């Protein structure tokens, strides 16, 4: 298994998905070894975790997290791009060297940063490779084509791959449309959630000010995610303007960090709703949980979201969601409201509708809870194991 991050050193959902998938696979009697680009203590017992290079987490995070690939074009001094790109090259060569002394049947690689390594191992060890696509370059670039060098890696690797796993129908369609990969080579395996990993919300919410506002009749709408163009937050701020006109006692809580932070703060101010939009930065642990549980409604307005875990996380804390139709999670979740990411007025309409109707919120979160209870990593892991078996049979024959 080749991946770029695992919790607790993850920058987003990619690491969480890899971790939970691997855990479920190992329960399903798949013997895994996971190669990361960095060295760290993960406290993982269900598989061996190797470091491709002797470097700390900090170096990797400084050289750009797994999602950044388009920044380079906009910034002068190619440091940031150069670093994550060269990190992926270092990783590629290190993995290739390690693979010579390892014995394994299949390589399963997650997202483009590990794809070159997968190709190299396929060539040297003659094993099938499965590429797991959690996002493609145009997702990360918010609908624009993105970095051509990254697209080239994705395209070359996907053409050569023995099989491809896409995290949603939406992603599969993008792989077919944008990379011209035959559809029958791509399997859709939806991500899931491991509910046992959630800690319950505490009664004592760390957002004191918001708690106080709520006691005074305010409603809180939250979003948790990176502040990047992919996440569509500019539209959410515009919708917030419309919502506040209809329901002045509404506060939007934006949780996360990213290059759009300043743009979003000034946009809220320009629209005259600076006081109604609260930014709290990147959060983990209790503050992260509190960011969901304080909310009356969660909104995921992403421009392009291959899967999108946060509405499921919000659901665990009893909070219903308005979700972009341009998301994978929208394909499997019934107990939610969906909206086109570009339709600012409709987004506002739905936000107001949910905030105003208590019974709608109650019914949604009740139904959502029932739906979440049916989700687990067992089924996706079972499907992946079948894929492994198919590949092994094929290479044996």
- Residue placing its CB nearer to another protein in the complex, 95 or 322: 322
Q: How far is the CB of 336 from another protein (least distance, A)?
A: 8
- Residue placing its CB nearer to another protein in the complex, 362 or 378: 362
Q: What's the CA gap between 337 and 317, in Å, rounded? A: 17
Q: How far is the CB of 302 from another protein (least distance, A)?
A: 18
Q: How far is the CB of 364 from another protein (least distance, A)?
A: 6
Query: Minimal CA–CA distance to 335: which of 288, 373, 291?
Result: 373
Q: What's the CA gap between 392 and 156, in Å, rounded? A: 22
- Residue placing its CB nearer to another protein in the complex, 147 or 324: 324
Q: How far is the CB of 275 from another protein (least distance, A)?
A: 22
Chain positions contacting another protein, by CB under 8 A: 242, 246, 334-338, 345-346, 348-350, 352-354, 356-357, 359-360, 362-364, 367
Preceding peptide of 83 cis, ω within 30°: no
- Residue placing its CB nearer to another protein in the complex, 103 or 334: 334
List the structure tokens of 118.
Answer: 């997968």
Q: How far is the CB of 168 from another protein (least distance, A)?
A: 18
C-beta neighbour count of 183 within 10 angstroms: 10
- Residue placing its CB nearer to another protein in the complex, 65 or 348: 348
Relative orientation angle of helices 13-27 and 378-396, to the nearest 10 degrees: 70
Q: How far is the CB of 9 from another protein (least distance, A)?
A: 38
- Residue placing its CB nearer to another protein in the complex, 264 or 336: 336
With helix as H, strand as E and coil as C, how does the chain read? CECCCCCCCCCCHHHHHHHHHHHHHHHCCCCCEEEECCCCCCCCCCCEEEECCCCCHHHHHHCCCCCCCCHHHHCCCCHHHHHHHHHHHHHHHHHHHHHCCCCCCCEEEECHHHHHHHHHHHHHHCCCEEEEECCCHHHHCCCCCCCHHHHHHHHHHHHHCCEEEECCHHHHHHHHHHHCCCHHHEEECCCCCCHHHCCCCCCCCCCHHHHHHHHCCCEEEEEECCCCHHHCHHHHHHHHHHHHHHCCCEEEEEECCCCCHHHHHHHHHHCCCHHHEEEEECCCHHHHHHHHHCCCEEEECCCCECCCCHHHHHHHCCCCEEEECCECHHHHCCCCEEECCCCHHHHHHHHHHHHHCHHHHHHHHHHHHHHHCCCCCHHHHHHHHHHHHHHHHHHHC
- Residue placing its CB nearer to another protein in the complex, 21 or 372: 372
- Residue placing its CB nearer to another protein in the complex, 69 or 338: 338
Q: How far is the CB of 298 from another protein (least distance, A)?
A: 14
- Residue placing its CB nearer to another protein in the complex, 13 or 301: 301
Q: What's the CA gap between 170 and 178, in Å, rounded? A: 12
Q: How far is the CB of 297 from another protein (least distance, A)?
A: 12
- Residue placing its CB nearer to another protein in the complex, 366 or 389: 366
Q: How far is the CB of 179 from another protein (least distance, A)?
A: 30
Q: How far is the CB of 246 from another protein (least distance, A)?
A: 6
């Amino acid at each position: 298994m080749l991946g770029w991050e695992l919790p607790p050193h993850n920058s987003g959902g990619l690491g969480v998905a890899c971790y939970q998938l691997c855990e479920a696979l190992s329960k399903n009697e798949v013997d895994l070894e996971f190669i990361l680009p960095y060295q760290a203590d993960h406290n993982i017992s269900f598989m061996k975790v190797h470091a491709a290079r002797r470097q700390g987490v900090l170096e990797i995070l400084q050289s750009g997290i797994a999602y950044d690939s388009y920044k380079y074009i906009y910034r002068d001094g190619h440091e940031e791009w150069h670093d994550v790109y060269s990190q992926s090259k270092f990783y590629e060569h290190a993995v290739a060297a390690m693979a010579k002394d390892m014995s394994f049947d299949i390589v399963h690689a997650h997202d483009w940063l590990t794809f070159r390594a997968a190709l190299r191992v396929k060539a040297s060890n003659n094993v099938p490779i499965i590429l797991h696509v959690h996002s493609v370059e145009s997702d990360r670039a918010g609908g624009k084509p993105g970095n051509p060098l990254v697209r080239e890696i994705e395209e070359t690797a996907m053409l050569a791959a023995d099989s491809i796993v896409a995290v949603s129908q939406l992603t599969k369609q993008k792989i077919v449309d944008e990379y011209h990969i035959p559809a029958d080579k791509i399997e859709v395996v939806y991500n899931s959630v491991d509910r046992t990993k959630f800690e319950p919300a505490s009664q004592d919410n760390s957002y004191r000010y918001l708690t106080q506002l709520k006691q005074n009749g305010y409603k809180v709408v939250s979003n948790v995610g990176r502040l990047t163009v992919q996440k569509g937050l500019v539209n959410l701020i515009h919708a917030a303007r419309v919502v506040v006109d209809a329901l002045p006692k509404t506060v939007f809580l934006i949780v996360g960090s990213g290059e759009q932070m300043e743009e979003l703060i000034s946009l809220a101010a320009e629209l005259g709703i600076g006081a109604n939009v609260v930014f709290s930065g990147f959060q983990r642990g209790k503050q992260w949980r509190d960011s969901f549980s304080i909310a009356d409604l969660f909104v995921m307005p992403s421009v392009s979201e291959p899967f999108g875990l946060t509405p499921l996380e919000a659901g665990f804390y009893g909070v219903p969601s308005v979700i972009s139709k341009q998301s994978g999670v929208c394909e499997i979740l019934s107990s939610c409201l969906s909206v086109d990411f570009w339709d600012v007025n409709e987004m506002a309409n739905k936000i107001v509708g949910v905030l105003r109707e208590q019974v709608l919120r109650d019914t949604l979160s009740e139904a959502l809870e029932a739906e979440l209870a049916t989700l687990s990593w067992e089924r996706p892991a079972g499907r992946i194991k079948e894929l492994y078996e198919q590949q092994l049979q094929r290479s044996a024959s």
